[in-house]
Each structure stands twice: as C-alpha cells, then as structure tokens.
Amino acid sequence: MAETMTAAAPTRLDSLIANSPVASVVSNPRLQDNPIIACNQAFKDLTGYDDDEIIGRNCRFLAGAETEPWLSDTIRDGVRERRPVLVEILNYKKNGTPFRNALLVAPIFDTAGELEFFLGSQVEIPADAPGIRAGAHGDINLITLLLGAEEGGLQLLTRQGEWLSIAPPEGALVINVGDMLERLTNNQLPSTIHRVLNPPPERRHIPRYSMPFFLHLASDVLIETLPGCIDADHPNLYPSPITANDFLVQRLIEIGLKT
C-alpha cells in the first residue's frame, strides 16, 4: 500500500501524498488533538513506524528529549493561527535515532474557506549535509511568486554563469520566470535558474520561511510563441504549439520525475 487512509479522509487526498517520494501525513484539526488520518509509505520508511502506530496520533510523537521546545511552539502557533509553518527540528525515529527534520505544516481549506486538514511533509537533513539544500533548477510553471525567504540561502544564476545570493527585504515579493513563460516568449524571458544553500550548522535552528505560489496554465491551454517575441533576429524556436499538460509531462520526463 502506498498510503493508509481512514474513512474520514476523502479520496482526493490520495493525490496529495500517496505516490509522493516526500514523507507526508494528513491530519484532521476537526478531531481532538489534530490526529493523523493518512500517511504515505515514505513517512513510514523515514520514521520506522507502522500504520497502527501512526494513524490517530498527533505528530508530536516524533519529538524526543532534545527536540527544540521553541520550534515545537512555532509549529503549535502556526496550527492555532491556521498558517503554514516551515522549521528544521530535531525529531526521533522509532528506533530512537535522532534526525534533523525539515518540516512543513500547511493548512488545507475547503471551498467555503473553512479549515479542513493540515498537510505535513518531512525531509531528513543529514548531519553532514552538503552546502546545497536544493540543487540548481528552473520551475516548470509560468511564474513563481515567492514570499518570505528573508533568511539567507536563495541564489540565482546570472547570465554570466555566476551564483548571486538573494536577500529580499522583509515583505518583498520575489518573482521567478518559469519554463512555460520562457517558451511563450521564445526564450526572451529565460527561466530563472536558482538553488538553495543549507545554512551553516549554527543557524540550522532558525526557521527559513519561504512560501512559493506556482502559477500554472490550465492543462488545455495551448502554449504558442507570442507573436511579439518573433522577428528577424529572433526566429520562432517553437513552431509547434503544445498544451500546458503535455509540456508539463514532457518536462517531468526530462528531469527524471516521470517515466
């Protein structure tokens, strides 16, 4: 089984976590103590716990003797205030092994705007993690809006092939060009290649809040080079239009995330 579900979890949650390589759980804040109602195989592989040891419990069972209490408070505050939280917290596996956990907890609202679930994802950060947290990549979508990330780590690749550290001021909005917009503009707006560095060990207890909004075209929209981006000096590099869905699948195959 790729996932364990209770009857209370709607089928649509399957697509959220079932086949994700990222350890993930879904909890229900409408039930007492916000218990986990779904988990995927990656979460069980990461923590060593079985289904009957996970479902029905609050995520705090991963805490242990040296879990940072101030980070636990940050998570609780986010849940209480119904807002996303990203922390790097010390958690423990079933066998007692501690691990540094990059934990994201995000609320999920229903169509009426009511809080329905929380989605939690966990990524283990090795103690000897290299300097790169997220390798160089572009985003497949049209544009990416990035809020937060005031804590350092984000770098952009310049036209000269050098990495430029980005330190947005508080409240600033970072806008990245995605692969779809690059194609629409005949490469005149190149996709923003970026990466994220791991913080030094002495700063890994400091949360790095970063909330990206990925703007995708509807799946049936035809990506066709904009006429204003074609001229004698810039011949059409993409004479054959492609739907947004086909483009997405094509890029996922190219980067090895789909076969």
Q: CA of 211: how far to CAs of 16, 104, 174, 215, 240, in Å?
A: 18, 10, 10, 13, 34
Cα dist from 229 to 184, 209, 235, 243, 255, whole Å = 8, 36, 9, 19, 27
pTM greater than the 0.75 cutoff: no
**8 A C-beta contact, residue 134 and residue 154:** no
Predicted pLDDT of residue 168: 80
Q: Which CATH number fits domain 3-125: 3.30.230.10, 3.40.720.10, 3.30.450.20, 3.40.50.360?
A: 3.30.450.20
Given this model, what pLDDT does residue 3 score?
Answer: 42
Domain 132-254: assigned CATH number: 2.60.120.330
Taking the chain (259 residues) in consecutive chunks of 10 residues, what is each chunk's mean pLDDT?
Answer: 42 69 92 94 96 95 91 92 89 94 91 92 76 80 82 82 84 90 96 83 64 90 96 95 94 81
Where do the CATH 3.30.450.20 domains begin and end in the chain?
Answer: 3-125
pLDDT at 257: 76
Instruction: Identify whether the C-beta of residue 42 lies closer than 8 Å to the C-beta of residue 21.
Output: yes
- Residue 195: the pLDDT is 86
